[in-house]
Structure 1
Amino acid sequence: MGKLIWHQWGRLLAITSGVSSFWAFLFRKFFWDMIGGTLGPAGLIPEKNTQPLVNLVVNIPLLQIFTLLLSIFTLVLELPLPFVVGTAVHRSIILRVVLYFITGFIGVMVYQTVDCAIYYVITSGVYAVAMSKGEMMTISLNGPAGDV
C-alpha cells in the first residue's frame, strides 16, 4: 500500500466543501432559529432577540456572500488556473489552514453550509497535519497537486 499524502486528501476535501457550499444561496435559512423559537403554522418562528442574525442570513444574505467568496477562493487555490500555479499564495499551507478554519466558522451560521463548515474544519486539520509532517506542495500543470 502507498503512503497517505495529507495535502492531497485535504485538497479533495476542500474542493468538495467549496463546491457544496454554493447551496447556501439557493436555500436561505438561519441555523440557530431553534433557540427560543416557537412553533407556528409556517414552521419554527425565531424569537425577536435573533432578528439581527435572521436579517444577515435570510433578508440580506451577507453570510452567504462571504461563504460564496471564500468558496470561490477555495476553488481558485485547489483547482488553480495557470497564472496561479507556483505563486506563494498557492504553495502556502498555513494560509489554507487559517482560511479553511475561518470559512468553517462563517459557514456554521448558515443552515445549508453546516456540513461544509465541518468539512472545512476537518480540511484545516488535515492541512495542519501535512504541514507538521513537512509536506511541500509542488504543483505541475500536467498532474494533480503534489509530491511529498
Structure 2
Amino acid sequence: MFFTQRSRFSVKLRVVAVVTGAVAAAALFAGSPANAQAAKPYDHKDPYKSGCGNSARAVKTAKIKSRANGTIGTIKLMWSGKCKTNWTEIKVGSTMSGSIKVYAQDGRYDTFSYKAGNGGRHWGDMVWANNMCAWGSATAQWGGGRGGQNGSGTTAKACG
C-alpha cells in the first residue's frame, strides 16, 4: 500500500484525536457527580408523605440566630431508622421565609425553600445517609431581610 507523507500524518492525527476524545469522555463520565453519588430511593422526598417521619427522632439540635436579634428559632437534624434518611426541620416565626438544607457526607444534599405560614414549622426533603455523617442548615428572613431581619443556623454532624 502506498502512503504519502501527508496521508500518514493525517491518519496519525485522526487516531490521536479519537483516542484523546475517548479518554476525555471517560474522564468526564467517571468524575461526574451523577456517577459518583447516585440518588437513593428516598432522596428528595417528603419525610411525612413517604411515612419515614412517623417514627423519626431528632439527632442534633441547634439555634437559628440573627446577629441583630439573637435566637429566632431552632433547627433539628432528623433521622428515620426505618428509611435510613436524614432531613432538617425548623421552628421559626410564622412570618419568616427562607431555605432548609440537609447534607450527606458523600456529597448528596437537598435544598427546600419555605414561605411564611404553617405556624413557623417547616421541614425539607430527605437524603439517604445510612452509615455516614449528615448535617443540616437553615436560613430565615422577615420584613425584607434588611437591617438584621435575617438569621441562620447549622446543626453539628451526626454520624451513624
Give the TM-score normalised by structure 1. 0.26
Task: Name the structure with the higher strand share.
Answer: 2
Larger radius of gyration: 2
TM-score by length of 2: 0.25
- Which protein has the bigger helix share? 1
Higher relative contact order (CA 8 A, sep 6+): 1
